């Protein structure tokens, strides 16, 4: 009977089909379960990434302040960011090391078809590492304060936006997270502050003096003494150093006189002729040559017919003539965590003068540099520190040029006739200034400094491109068609500066 039963093949197809069919159902259904598993894992990873950023921020700034562990906070937050319909959160672990937080989590889904084979659940896991910004920030606000900034409420909006940025970032400062600012306004000049008149890095005109020191005097003259002789105080503006030190951070030293900073003294211009902006003394020269009249050193030794009345050269610029002429820009605020002082200096900004972007950027660099003249910045080798420049201008580079012997307006580059920007600097010196801008931007970025640039209401395509090229990349350049956008732009920059990043 057993042999007959074994040999009986009736119904074998039904049994075989049943076994095979069950396998096919499990395979097809299992694919569905696996698709659900993969979807859960992807969504879990996204949620873990988001949660890690939040927990890392709280850990760094101690925002929670409730004493709960990072793991507990992560599990609470993950429950909000991960939809329970996608699975059930299980183990959540957060651990920190230095400025890094590692977060791991798992989520379980119940199977529909694989449970037929005894697999009741599938568990997905995700892991991410978040690193926060370096433990300190050094931020230079390099801001255009030229005359055009009074138009369209540009300066008013700039002040508000910059102060908001200081408030936003300074709120994140702590004992372990230093945030410092320096303010570098620029126009024709950058002002290093009259209190630095006696600093060793200011050229005093001694035996070792810059090759530029006596450029506008027929014989050696003590520049600072000229101010005293005329009853004036040096306001703090300096001329740009000779190349190759003009666009770099080389520390000034008397051993290399061209590295020193020459105090700007606006020469007394000839008594007659067109485009004379700053004639405040008698020439005391019989020469017909206007440059010779201007450079006559004797008139400073015994000043005659002193005239400090307001200049009438520019229709929107009526200020007293004298050796301080065109030095209207506010002094640099050195690198500090005195946020009240920084905000006060921002609020005090005024608008006058022409656009000298490369000089502003060069001093922004020096303000965060570990090298003299200020030596306020931390060492470049300090991996726990980031240096940042935020550069704003509302126009293209321009120092006024005129068809006169001196060639145009006095600025940190001296007079245009001196050709300190090359023999072909272009109309209003733009070609030469643009070239210097590219040079200094390249050097700043090569030093590891991040550069954000903002073009405010600039409708010149090449001017926009220059700022874009100067920045550290597409995400670091902002084109602002109107001043009202500055608030959101500075807010975005503040977020990027302090933003955490997913490391792995």
Q: With bands split at pLDDT 50, 70 and 90, how would you rate the model's confidence at 65?
A: very low
pLDDT greater than 70 at residue 294? yes
**310 is written with which tokens?**
């307001």
Q: What does the alpha-carbon distance between residue 298 and residue 306 come to, in Å, rounded to a whole number? A: 14
Domain ranges within the chain, ordered by starting residue: 11-131, 134-191+327-408+417-504
Query: CA 207: distance to chain centroid?
Result: 39
Q: What is the pLDDT of residues 206-263, one digit of tens each?
A: 999 999 999 999 999 999 999 999 999 999 999 999 999 999 999 999 999 999 999 9
Decide yes or no: CATH 3.40.50.410 for domain 134-191+327-408+417-504: yes
Q: How far is the CA of 166 from the CAs of 374, 389, 497, in angstroms?
A: 21, 14, 12
pLDDT greater than 70 at residue 501? no
Report which secondary-structure segment, H or E, holds 347: helix 339-347
What pLDDT shows up at residue 64? 43
Cβ atoms 452, 391 nearer than 8 A: yes
What pLDDT shows up at residue 126? 95
Q: Tell me the average pLDDT across 489-496.
A: 95
Whether a cis peptide bond, with omega within 30° of 0, leads into 373 is yes
Q: What does the alpha-carbon distance between residue 488 and residue 479 come to, in Å, rounded to a whole number? A: 12
**287 is written with which tokens?**
């020469």
What pLDDT shows up at residue 365? 98
Q: What is the pLDDT of residues 305-347, one digit of tens each?
A: 999 999 987 777 889 999 999 999 999 999 999 999 999 999 9
Q: Crossing angle, helix 430-446 and helix 461-470, to 10 degrees?
A: 20
Q: What is the pLDDT of residues 401-416, one digit of tens each?
A: 999 999 999 999 999 9
pLDDT greater than 50 at residue 63? no
Residue with token string 């500055």: 486
DSSP state of 201: T
pLDDT greater than 90 at residue 27? no
Cβ atoms 127, 104 nearer than 8 A: yes
pLDDT greater than 80 at residue 49? yes
For residue 359, give every residue at least 6 positions away whose Cβ sits within 8 Å of its Cβ, in sequence order, or none: 186, 189, 190, 240, 412, 413
Q: Tell me the average pLDDT across 119-146.
A: 89
Q: What is the mean pLDDT of the chain?
A: 91
What pLDDT shows up at residue 4? 64
Q: What does the alpha-carbon distance between residue 164 and residue 171 come to, in Å, rounded to a whole number? A: 11
DSSP state of 216: T
Q: What is the pLDDT of residues 367-385, one digit of tens each?
A: 999 999 999 999 999 988 9
Sheet holding 333-336, edge to edge: 333-336, 178-186, 136-144, 385-393, 450-456, 477-480
Q: What does the alpha-carbon distance between residue 175 and residue 178 come to, in Å, rounded to a whole number? A: 7
Q: How many CB atoms lie within 10 A of CB 422?
A: 13
Q: Which of 131, 139, 148 is nearest to 96 (CA)?
A: 131
Q: Crossing angle, helix 154-170 and helix 339-347, to 10 degrees?
A: 170
Q: Which residue has the higher pLDDT, 176 or 437?
A: 437
Q: Crossing angle, helix 486-498 and helix 154-170, to 10 degrees?
A: 20
Q: Give 1: exposed, middle or buried? Use CB within 10 Å, 0-12, 13-18, 19+.
A: exposed
What are residue 238's DSSP bridge partners? 263
Q: What does the alpha-carbon distance between residue 41 and residue 252 come to, in Å, rounded to a whole number? A: 59
What are residue 33's DSSP bridge partners? none
With b for 16 or more beta-carbon neighbours within 10 A and e for fewer, the 31-45 pattern comes to: eebeebbeebbebbb
Q: How far is the CA of 405 from the CAs of 19, 200, 273, 411, in angstroms?
A: 104, 34, 10, 16
For residue 97, give every residue at least 6 positions away whose Cβ sits within 8 Å of its Cβ, in sequence order, or none: none
Cβ atoms 286, 408 nearer than 8 A: no
């Amino acid at each position: 009977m057993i042999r007959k039963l074994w040999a009986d093949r009736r119904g074998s197809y039904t049994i075989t089909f049943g076994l095979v069919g069950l396998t096919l159902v499990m395979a097809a259904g299992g694919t569905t379960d696996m698709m659900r598993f993969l979807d859960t894992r992807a969504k879990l990873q996204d949620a873990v990434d988001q949660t890690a950023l939040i927990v890392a921020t709280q850990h760094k700034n101690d925002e929670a302040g409730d004493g709960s562990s990072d793991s507990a906070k992560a599990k609470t937050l993950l429950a909000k960011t991960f939809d329970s319909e996608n699975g059930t959160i299980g183990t959540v672990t957060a651990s920190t090391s230095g400025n890094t937080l590692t977060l791991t989590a798992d989520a379980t889904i119940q199977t529909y078809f694989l449970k037929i084979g005894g697999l009741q659940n599938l568990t997905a896991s995700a892991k991410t590492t978040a690193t926060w910004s370096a433990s300190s920030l050094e931020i230079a606000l390099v801001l255009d304060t030229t005359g055009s900034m009074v138009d369209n409420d540009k300066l008013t909006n700039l002040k508000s936006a910059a102060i908001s940025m200081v408030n936003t970032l300074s709120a994140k400062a702590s004992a372990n997270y230093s945030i410092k600012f320096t303010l570098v306004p620029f126009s024709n000049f950058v002002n290093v502050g009259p209190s630095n008149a006696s600093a060793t890095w200011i050229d005093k005109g001694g035996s070792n003096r810059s090759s530029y020191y006596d450029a506008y005097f027929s014989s050696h003259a003590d520049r600072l003494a000229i101010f005293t002789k005329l009853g004036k105080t040096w306001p703090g503006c300096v001329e740009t150093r000779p190349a190759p030190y003009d666009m770099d951070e080389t520390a000034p030293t008397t051993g290399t006189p061209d590295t020193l900073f020459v105090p700007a003294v606006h020469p007394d211009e000839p008594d007659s002729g067109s485009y004379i902006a700053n004639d405040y003394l008698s020439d005391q020269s019989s020469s017909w040559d206007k440059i010779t009249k201007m450079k006559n050193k004797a008139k400073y030794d015994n000043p005659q017919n002193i005239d400090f009345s307001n200049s009438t050269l520019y229709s929107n610029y009526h200020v007293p003539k004298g050796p301080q002429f065109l030095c209207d820009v506010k002094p640099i605020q050195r690198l500090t965590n005195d946020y009240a002082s920084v905000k006060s200096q921002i609020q005090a900004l005024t608008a006058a003068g022409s656009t000298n972007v490369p000089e502003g950027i060069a001093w922004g660099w020096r303000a965060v540099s570990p090298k003299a003249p200020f030596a306020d910045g931390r060492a470049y080798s300090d991996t726990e520190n980031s240096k940042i420049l935020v550069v704003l201008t509302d126009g293209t580079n321009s120092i006024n040029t005129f068809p006169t012997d001196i060639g145009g307006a006095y600025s940190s580059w001296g007079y245009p006739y001196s050709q300190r920007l090359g023999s072909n600097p272009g109309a209003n010196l733009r070609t030469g200034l643009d070239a210097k801008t590219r040079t200094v931007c390249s050097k700043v970025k090569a030093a590891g400094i991040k550069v954000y640039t903002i073009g405010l209401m600039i409708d010149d395509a090449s001017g926009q491109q220059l700022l874009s090229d100067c920045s550290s990349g597409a995400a670091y350049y902002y084109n602002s068609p109107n001043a009202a956008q500055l608030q959101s732009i500075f807010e975005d920059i503040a977020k990027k500066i302090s933003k955490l990043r997913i490391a792995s």
